[in-house]
Amino acid sequence: MTNRRKFLQTVAALPSLSLAGCGWRLAEVRANAQTSVPRDQLYIYTWTQYTDKQLLQTFSTQTGMKALADVYDSNDVMLARLQAGGGGAYSIIYPSDYMVQKMVDKALLIEIDHERLIGLDNLLPRFQNPTYDLNNRYSVPFNWGTTGLVYNSEILKDAPEDWDYLWQNQQQLKNRMTLLNDVREVIGAVLRMLGYSYNSQDENQIKQAYEKLKALKPLITDFDTETWPNQMLAGDLVLAMCYSADAIRVSKENPKLKYVIPRSGSSLWTDTIVIPKTCPNLDGAYAWINFILQPEISAQISQRLNIATPNRYAFEQLPIDIQSNADLFPSESILEKCERITPLGKIEEIYERYWTELTSD
């Protein structure tokens, strides 16, 4: 899955940068992590929006260990780096749910010793035995969310209720909407609209979704996960398919930008914390996981970085206005209609073939 939940383009080659529009500053970002890591240092490989200076400093204050973060903008980039031997310095990595399965299959992860964890039972029940990693053998959930549509409510008076809104309002949306640059999300959403599973393995169903998208293609500005927030804020777009975490951030910039989860259903995703087999600082890795499992730390992260915590005691510590934010914490009735994206093996080649045809026309 490409460019997962990336809000603004981050250039990993820079030693540090400020994203003032997001209201946070990434701390120490090292593009070329050392292969020999001192025991008092912990290198983390994570998504662009999942760390900041305050988080790393608090960990250092608690443990006396210096934490440094490298960032990536897609699961595929992360996996490719690890498989190419470029991840030897990392003791902690943040893959998405379906990628945990792939990494386990490729024998890239250490099985987590639960005896060394403090607070794993703080997690909400749905995150304690997830389908992508039974009994949390290899991963600990960090953040979760949904995929949906963000729209300009000042221009589009009628809120989108389902994915078919894109086809029913073509004149209003022409050249003013974007879809994610993500094969499984985009084709999956249309499959769901057609009454099928996000994870369909039926080539005929996948082809039907492709044909619907092909008809819409001339009206789409771009397949984009990176730059749509700035375009939306500038008024160049009126609608974008996006991840909930990004929608929440952009709506803080402009409250007229609203997020909806289509009624036919969407994807439910979780980003996790894992320990790679090449981990050079195992004690540090467990120290980091236990740090994140602390309810007060998890609550601070959720509030400061606008992400949904899977920690039930952290949730209880959040202000009422955040607890009741349906974009961040959707109701059970909505979540019941959402599916997790799962690896499909050889079937994914069918998705990729149609995606190539769709995006290269």
The pLDDT tens digits of the residues spanning 204-262 come to 999 999 999 999 999 999 998 878 999 999 999 999 999 998 899 899 999 999 999 99
Q: Does position 305 have pLDDT exceeding 90, yes or no?
A: no
Residue ranges of domains in the chain, CATH in brackets: 17-139+274-293 (3.40.190.10), 146-267+334-360 (3.40.190.10)
Q: Does position 5 have pLDDT exceeding 90, yes or no?
A: no
| Calpha distance 329→309 (Å, rounded) | 9
| Calpha distance 96→80 (Å, rounded) | 15
The mean predicted confidence, pLDDT, of the chain is 88
- Cα 90 from chain centre: 20
Segment among 26-30, 64-68, 306-310, 352-356 with least mean pLDDT: 26-30
The C-alpha angle with vertex 59 and arms to 53 and 61, in degrees rounded to 5, equals 100
Residues flagged as binding site for spermidine: 98, 182-185
Q: What distance separates the 2 farthest-apart alpha carbons in the chain?
A: 59
- Cα 166 from chain centre: 23
Check: CB of residue 307 under 8 Å from CB of residue 49.
yes
Residues flagged as binding site: 98, 182-185
> How far lies 349's CA from each of 172, 206, 355, in Å?
34, 11, 10
